[in-house]
Amino acid sequence: MDLLRRREGPVEVLTLNRPDQRNALSPELMADISTAFRECLEDTGVRAIVLTGAGDRAFCAGMDLKAFAERSQASGPAADTTHFMMFSQGRYPKPIIGAANATAVAGGWELLLNCDIVVTSDKAKFGLPEVKRGLFAAGGGTTLPGRIPLGIALELGLTGDLIDAARAYELGLVNRVVPAEDVLDTALDVARRIGENGPLGVLATKKLMRVAFTDGVAAARAAQEGERAKVFESEDALEGARAFAEKREPRWKGR
């Protein structure tokens, strides 16, 4: 299977499982990821997702050009990648933690850039080498100027050069840098801590922060009013207050 799935409490772990191809994205793998994202969105028991790669050679080497070329010559309908595209556009509702077990380039780095939180191996490198193949970073790389200074973003995008994990951390593009053997456990710890929180509050927080990032603070403030009643008047809001008063862990219902 090109995508492995397992549940760790409230966390769904997705592992890109094409280590011999450096976990490159084939049409089938993208469709599998999209299906997993859809099913996780529909499953109220999933509070967060961890996305990682198999092996120690790469988190993901980007698009599998050979597989895409073969698929373009094949007949039949294209696979449904709706929820993969939702993720690529920053619109996926549930929190996704990237666990970069090794180097991520091109679409592989863009997967991580689209994650909400990133934990990386201290040996990993990152880059957008699409220009070296006559392409450009269409999976999220061109949004870098929204996160780092324009000149640095342009240097990364126009040269296709790699940066190491320490530089990525310095630029604020990853959250944690740890030894390779600790990447998954660290990402799972972050995901579990998110999963312990009120699900409605988590979803609203991610949504509003994403709106602030893409559309600006004023848009986020306007959108906040639509979330306020849904969250503050929910059963979970009452449960949170009761649990605090009774000195116990809350029992969330997601409503």
Which residues are known to be catalytic? 110, 130
User: Residue 137's closest CA among 102, 113, 165?
Assistant: 113
User: Residue 196's closest CA among 229, 236, 137, 143?
Assistant: 236
Burial of 47 (0-12, 13-18, 19+ CB in 10 A): buried
Task: Say which residues have a Cβ less than 8 Å from residue 185's Cβ, sequence separation at least 6.
Answer: none
Residue entry with tokens 């294209």:
78
Burial of 218 (0-12, 13-18, 19+ CB in 10 A): exposed
Identity of the amino acid at 131: V
